[in-house]
Amino acid sequence: MGTVDSLVTDRDEYLAIRSRGAATFDLEARLPAQVFRTPRPDALFCEFDVVLTPEFWPALCAMARWHGDEQVELLVLEPEADEFYLPEYRLYPAVSLSVESSVDDYWAVIGHEPNGEALGSIAISADVIAVTGPSGAWGCWGERNPEVAVFQGFPSEAARAEWSAEFGPFLDVSGALDSYLPLTFAGRSVPAEYAATLTSNYGGGKR
């Protein structure tokens, strides 16, 4: 299940996870740009830190199971492997975890403190993350700055509403611009250009 062994130490395995992530996401993009390779009009947002808590694991598993994925793969894009995780901890910032794993298993992996250093754990150190499964049919992209994560890949509007009600709160792009994002900008005001770009890229869904 989920143990620290689920943290990737093999470069080939890391590159395989990264390659699958790159099929779902533009790994070089950052919000408010479009990060999904195949955008869909069903985006939902939540606060970034929520994704990196044990309680959120069932939400990710639900998305994976909709599309027949037996694994959830989490890739840290910032800090970069070669600049931080490898020289400091001899680990690659990627996780492949079975959907049968528990919330404790998830936390054992993302909360693992290499060399006893809390700052080395994914839960604390990750600044940009990309989460999906082997199908590539769903995804979660999160950024510590501006402190949001965005999801897409719901099989139906009903599934989206049920998932949001069970695991939320989640907001559509307009709600995120009103509630989450102002706190991350000077003067608690989202720049007009940023808001327009985010709305253009993620404004297809309904709250």
- Taking only the tens place, the pLDDT of each residue in 73-92 is 999 999 999 999 999 999 99
Q: Is 178 part of any domain?
A: yes
Q: Is 115 part of any domain?
A: yes
CA–CA dist 58, 42 (Å, integer):
20
Amino acid identity for residue 131 in this structure: V
For residue 1, pLDDT over 90 is answered with no
Segments in 73-206 forming alpha helices (H)? 86-89, 103-110, 122-125, 157-167, 173-179, 192-202
The residue segments making up the domain with residue 81 are 4-202
9-13, 59-63, 172-176, 189-193: which range is least confident on average? 9-13
User: What is the rounded average pLDDT for all residues in the chain?
Assistant: 94
Task: List the structure tokens of 3.
Answer: 């143990």
Q: Is 207 part of any domain?
A: no
For residue 4, pLDDT over 90 is answered with no
Question: Which are the contacts of 122, defined by CB distance < 8 A and separation ≥ 6?
Answer: 52, 74, 76, 93, 95, 109, 110, 111, 112, 129
pLDDT over 90 percentage in the chain: 91
Angle between helical axes of 57-66 and 157-167 (0-180°, round to 10): 160
Total number of domains in the chain: 1
Q: Is 134 part of any domain?
A: yes
